A and B are shown apart, each in its own frame.
Chain A
Amino acid sequence: MEATAEQLRWMYEKMIEIRDYEETMSRVYLEAKLPPKIQKGLAFDIGAGPVPGEMHLAAGQEPVAVGVCAHLRRDDTVVGAHRPHHFAIAKDVDLNAMTAEMFGKATGLGRGKGGHMHLFDPAVKFSCSGIVGAGAPQACGAALAAKKLGTDAVAIAFFGEGAANQGAFHEALNLAALWRLPVVFVVEDNKYGISVEKSASTAIASNADRAVAYGMPGVLVERNDALAVFTAAGEAVARARRGDGPTLIEVKTDRYFGHFQGDPETYRPKGEAKELRQHDPIPALGAVLRARGLLDDAADAALRARVSGRVQAAYDFGRNSPYPEPQDALLHVFAE
């Protein structure tokens, strides 16, 4: 499957947007979390600053999000995991409301009740969960609904390689194959489940091989490359859309930051992240665009400025939005 010029431009711009978003967050997140502004004796204060709590960033993993979402429509469902920003951005989640949510603001997607691991945007059918592996059965449910409603919408479950050792993953694969559901399971293998290397957690090298146990195609994408993901996902999404059932894809990708911000990363060889950045998938895709005559220096600069403006506007919106009223904690337990 060949990407159209429009798809190439879209993927490139989205990757830049994701990277800009995550790099910005890596700085904003640290505001007021480091000495000397925090409790004496602490090296870091997770609950301080304008964006408190855990923060899992996806810089380096952009190809997975854009390579899959390039094939999706607004009425397709995406269920992400605890590291969700790249999927959300690629699924066109409202950037302002998403950012405000991370600042805990009343204008956030969840009015400040969810935070960065719990982003819900029903307008584009995006949700995610902080529980590893939990999204896979939920994507099956969305796919089941599409089937029952007679639409050709599909559902995508994104999760890390660590999730493939959860029971939920295996139950979901069996259900999806048994019921021939229009769902695609996408495993992001970023080599680490927090600190534990894949080889120390997973009995086989490629989770794609696990597909055979459920009678579905399993595809391994060995390069952290948007077009490679695009090709694999294109076939899987088309297969799901025409009613031929699920596919399992594993993508070998790179995590540039720690598991969470503040992670000392003592489990990683020194300089690994720096080395990974030598194989940045964004300039690689940029080179493809240039070779096709779709990009030059001026267009690149204009695009980056546009994206940067959009991202900055979202952070400004989040930062400047009001907090919810404290007693609003009592609202939204139940729908009226």
Chain B
Amino acid sequence: MSTNTTTRRLTMAQAISEATAQEMARDPRVFVMGEDVGKYGGIFSATTGLLDQFGPERVMDTPISETGFMGAALGAAAEGLRPISELMFVDFFGVCFDQIYNHIAKNHYMSGGACRYPLVITTGIGGGYNDAAQHSQCLYSIFAHVPGLKVVVPSNAYDAKGLMTTAIRDDNPVVFLYHKGIMGLSWMSYFEGSTNEVPEEQYTIPFGQARVVREGSDVTIVTLSQMVQKSVLAADRLAAEGISAEVLDLRTLVPLDRAAVLKSVQRTGRLLVADEDYLSFGLSGEIAALVAENLDTLRLKAPVRRLAVPDVPIPFSRPLEQFAIPQVDNIVASVRGLMTFKLD
């Protein structure tokens, strides 16, 4: 980023809609569709202002008909357009997953590379505001599990704008998952670290490049999305205790920056995965497996630890939900625990 660039503090929601608007202005093939993306501007404000700027032909409110419009996004992408299709809550993937995992993800492969489907699925993820089990999940691991989808999970406004621009320009299907609790909404408390300085001009951030949010030498916290902000707060507290935690923001799951994870763990010798998705068979296991498969290149000073939702649906009641979703306290405690080991 050059020094004479004009920047402003933007929320992640503003950054996403700005990236979309700038790309729509640059490329007439780009259009947005989804539930309440027009006048409402997106339930989580990811499309605010787009209708006024581009009109209803390019910012299309859809019926509550996710199979219909996800399939239509695929069909339009096959014809050379570049749809951005919003799935309001990721939890709603169940009503349209056939279009996503059987078609959007696989058609390029099944065509032997002959057909391309440049489209972006944007979707809101995450809990922490008592919306219960059908409106609070993360589920990015499910999308990452299916071959053929790129999976982007930003933690802050600057990254969100650059990654969204990259997503729209990518010739592959990209699932772009934004955590509601870092969008900077005026009606939901959020982690302020997610609102940051964002250049006015367009820029791209390549997929598959994790970011060291905070350098450290004792332990690596591999994380993403809202949990990055929690991990930074935890790292502050740990620093006061003399523990130096490195926070690594994966930013994209597909492609996954495996080298960055290994490089950091090689240095620190300790790994905590801080994740808001379900514990079993998901991201945290994938990162742990990566380290296990590379034990010939690194020496662990403690067993790998995973923090994630302990395989329960997200509960409604505040104390229940706060228990189920890993919090700053849990990250601090887990790192402290890691520091007590002495492996030879």
Chain A positions 107-149 with a Cβ under 8 Å from a chain B Cβ: 108-114, 118, 120-122, 125, 127, 129, 131, 134, 136-146, 148-149
Q: Bound complex: CA of A138 vs CA of B77, how far in Å? A: 10
The answer to the question of B69 belonging to the interface, with a C-beta cut-off of 8 Å to chain A, is: yes
Q: Which residues of the other chain, B, contact A139 by a CB distance below 8 angstroms?
A: 75
A151: nearest chain-B partner, CB-CB: B79
The answer to the question of B110 belonging to the interface, with a C-beta cut-off of 8 Å to chain A, is: yes
Q: Which residues of the other chain, A, contact B57 by a CB distance below 8 angstroms?
A: 148
The answer to the question of B31 belonging to the interface, with a C-beta cut-off of 8 Å to chain A, is: yes
The answer to the question of A206 belonging to the interface, with a C-beta cut-off of 8 Å to chain B, is: no
Chain A positions 144-160 with a Cβ under 8 Å from a chain B Cβ: 144-146, 148-149, 155
- The smallest beta-carbon distance between A65 and chain B, in angstroms, is 20
Q: Is B67 touching A167 in the complex (CB atoms < 8 A)? A: yes
Instruction: Please tell me which stretch of B97-105, B231-239, B264-272, B315-323 contacts chain A, meaning at least 4 of its Cβ atoms lie within 8 angstroms of it.
Output: B97-105
Chain B positions 113-140 with a Cβ under 8 Å from a chain A Cβ: 113-116
Q: Is A110 touching B99 in the complex (CB atoms < 8 A)? A: no
Q: Is B109 touching A333 in the complex (CB atoms < 8 A)? A: yes
Q: Is B110 touching A120 in the complex (CB atoms < 8 A)? A: yes
Q: Is A168 touching B78 in the complex (CB atoms < 8 A)? A: no
Q: Bound complex: CA of A333 vs CA of B150, how far in Å? A: 10
> Which of A118, A125, A140 contacts B68, CB < 8 Å?
A140
Q: Which residues of the other chain, A, contact B327 by a CB distance below 8 angstroms?
A: none
Q: Is A145 touching B103 in the complex (CB atoms < 8 A)? A: no
- The smallest beta-carbon distance between B280 and chain A, in angstroms, is 25
Given A134-B103, A137-B69, A335-B171, A145:B79 Cβ within 8 A: yes
Q: Is B103 touching A138 in the complex (CB atoms < 8 A)? A: yes
Q: Which residues of the other chain, A, contact B116 by a CB distance below 8 angstroms?
A: 335
Q: Is A148 touching B31 in the complex (CB atoms < 8 A)? A: yes
Q: Which residues of the other chain, A, contact B75 by a CB distance below 8 angstroms?
A: 77, 79, 137-145, 155
Q: Which residues of the other chain, A, contact B171 by a CB distance below 8 angstroms?
A: 335-336
Q: Which residues of the other chain, A, contact B111 by a CB distance below 8 angstroms?
A: 109-110, 113-114, 118, 120, 122, 127, 332
Chain A positions 166-199 with a Cβ under 8 Å from a chain B Cβ: 167-168, 171-172, 174-175, 178
Q: Is A145 touching B67 in the complex (CB atoms < 8 A)? A: no
Q: Which residues of the other chain, B, contact A171 by a CB distance below 8 angstroms?
A: 63, 65, 67-68, 71
Residue-by-residue, is B136-178 near A (CB-CB < 8 Å gives 1, otherwise 0)?
Answer: 0000000000011010000000000000000000011000000
Q: Is B99 touching A134 in the complex (CB atoms < 8 A)? A: yes
Q: Which residues of the other chain, A, contact B150 by a CB distance below 8 angstroms?
A: 334
Given A137-B67, A174-B63, A175-B65, A332:B113 Cβ within 8 A: yes
The answer to the question of A204 belonging to the interface, with a C-beta cut-off of 8 Å to chain B, is: no
Q: Which residues of the other chain, B, contact A140 by a CB distance below 8 angstroms?
A: 68, 71-72, 75
Q: Which residues of the other chain, B, contact A136 by a CB distance below 8 angstroms?
A: 71
Q: Bound complex: CA of A137 vs CA of B104, how far in Å? A: 12
Q: Is A175 touching B114 in the complex (CB atoms < 8 A)? A: no
A137: nearest chain-B partner, CB-CB: B71
Q: How many A-B residue pairs have CB under 8 A?
A: 150
> Which of A112, A143, A175, A335 contacts B108, CB < 8 Å?
A335
Q: Is A109 touching B114 in the complex (CB atoms < 8 A)? A: yes
- The smallest beta-carbon distance between B54 and chain A, in angstroms, is 12
The answer to the question of B107 belonging to the interface, with a C-beta cut-off of 8 Å to chain A, is: yes
- The smallest beta-carbon distance between A110 and chain B, in angstroms, is 4
Q: Which residues of the other chain, B, contact A118 by a CB distance below 8 angstroms?
A: 107, 110-111
Q: Is A129 touching B79 in the complex (CB atoms < 8 A)? A: no
Chain B positions 65-90 with a Cβ under 8 Å from a chain A Cβ: 65, 67-81, 83
Q: Which residues of the other chain, B, contact A155 by a CB distance below 8 angstroms?
A: 75
Q: Which residues of the other chain, B, contact A114 by a CB distance below 8 angstroms?
A: 110-112
- The smallest beta-carbon distance between A182 and chain B, in angstroms, is 12
A168: nearest chain-B partner, CB-CB: B67
Q: Bound complex: CA of A186 vs CA of B109, how far in Å? A: 27
Q: Bound complex: CA of A144 vs CA of B70, how far in Å? A: 13
Q: Is A141 touching B76 in the complex (CB atoms < 8 A)? A: yes
Q: Bound complex: CA of A112 vs CA of B112, how far in Å? A: 7
A145: nearest chain-B partner, CB-CB: B79
Q: Is A138 touching B63 in the complex (CB atoms < 8 A)? A: no
Q: Bound complex: CA of A109 vs CA of B74, how far in Å? A: 19
> Which of A108, A137, A141, A331 contacts B78, CB < 8 Å?
A141
- The smallest beta-carbon distance between A54 and chain B, in angstroms, is 15
> Which of B80, B83, B103, B172 contacts A335, CB < 8 Å?
B172
Q: Is A131 touching B71 in the complex (CB atoms < 8 A)? A: no
Q: Bound complex: CA of A71 vs CA of B271, how far in Å? A: 63
Chain A positions 320-336 with a Cβ under 8 Å from a chain B Cβ: 331-336
Residue of A141, A146, A168, A175 contacting most chain B CB atoms (<10 Å): A141
Q: Which residues of the other chain, A, contact B80 by a CB distance below 8 angstroms?
A: 145, 149
Q: Which residues of the other chain, B, contact A167 by a CB distance below 8 angstroms?
A: 67, 95
Q: Which residues of the other chain, A, contact B62 by a CB distance below 8 angstroms?
A: 175
Given A77-B79, A134-B103, A111:B98 Cβ within 8 A: no
A–B complex contacts, Cβ < 8 Å, 9 sampled: A110-B114, A137-B69, A142-B75, A144-B76, A145-B75, A145-B81, A175-B62, A175-B63, A332-B111
The 6 closest A-B pairs by CB, nearest first: A141-B75, A137-B71, A111-B112, A171-B68, A145-B79, A120-B111
Chain A interface residues (CB < 8 Å from chain B): 77, 79, 108-114, 118, 120-122, 125, 127, 129, 131, 134, 136-146, 148-149, 155, 167-168, 171-172, 174-175, 178, 331-336
Q: A141-B74, A141-B77 are in contact. List 18 more A-B contacts (CB 8 A).
A: A77-B79, A110-B112, A114-B110, A134-B102, A137-B74, A137-B99, A138-B71, A138-B99, A139-B75, A140-B72, A148-B57, A148-B76, A167-B67, A168-B68, A168-B98, A168-B99, A172-B71, A334-B108
